[in-house]
Amino acid sequence: MHLSAHTHYQAELDAGRFCIQHCPQCHQHVFTPRELCPHCGASPLRWVRASGLGTVYSSTTIARKEDVGGNYNVALIDLDEGVRMMSRVEGVAPVGVRIGQRVQAHVAQKDGRGLVLFQPAVQGGVA
């Protein structure tokens, strides 16, 4: 049975693994999941574990009332593999997330589904 790229990506997250695609033809990483390489059109793409390391490209704070969880950030993260993804940075106040900040991904579970979140990275490890 052939799973769609998005279904496969979510299944990996649900199992606690953060994977992205890699093109064996042009050697570029690919995100969001696709059936064909957006760089050269090759298929199939391989699934590889992401390093999880990245840099905050942009961030915004979403204001929410405290009784529904309080403020949170939405950030665009440039992964070291050369792809960009949207997520959240935790472990720091939403307004404390800075452009250029190094971050490390982890897979969290919410309502039984895996999702990629980030936290500030420190040299030699994670904060």
Same domain for 56 and 111? yes
Same domain for 12 and 23? yes
Average pLDDT over residues 41-65: 96
The answer to whether residues 63 and 94 touch, using CB atoms and an 8 Å cutoff, is no
Q: What are phi and psi of 7, to 5 degrees?
A: -65, -45
**Eight-state DSSP code of residue 65:** -
pLDDT tens sequence across 68-111: 989 999 999 999 999 999 999 999 999 999 999 999 999 999 99
DSSP H/E element including 113: strand 113-122
Average pLDDT over residues 38-66: 96
Q: How many domains does the chain have?
A: 2
Q: Which residues pair with 63 in a beta bridge?
A: none
**Residue 62 belongs to domain with CATH number:** 2.40.50.840
Same domain for 115 and 73? yes
Q: Which residues contact 69 (CB under 8 A, 6 or more apart)?
A: none
* pLDDT value for 3: 72
Same domain for 78 and 21? no
Same domain for 45 and 13? yes
**Sorting pLDDT into bands at 50, 70 and 90, what band is 122?**
confident
- Which of the listed residues 29, 49, 69 is the one where a domain comes to its end? 49
Distance CA(32)–CA(30), nearest Å, equals 6
Averaged pLDDT score across all residues of the chain: 93
Same domain for 26 and 57? no
Same domain for 56 and 106? yes
* pLDDT value for 1: 46
Same domain for 45 and 57? no
Domain around 40: 1-49
* pLDDT value for 2: 59
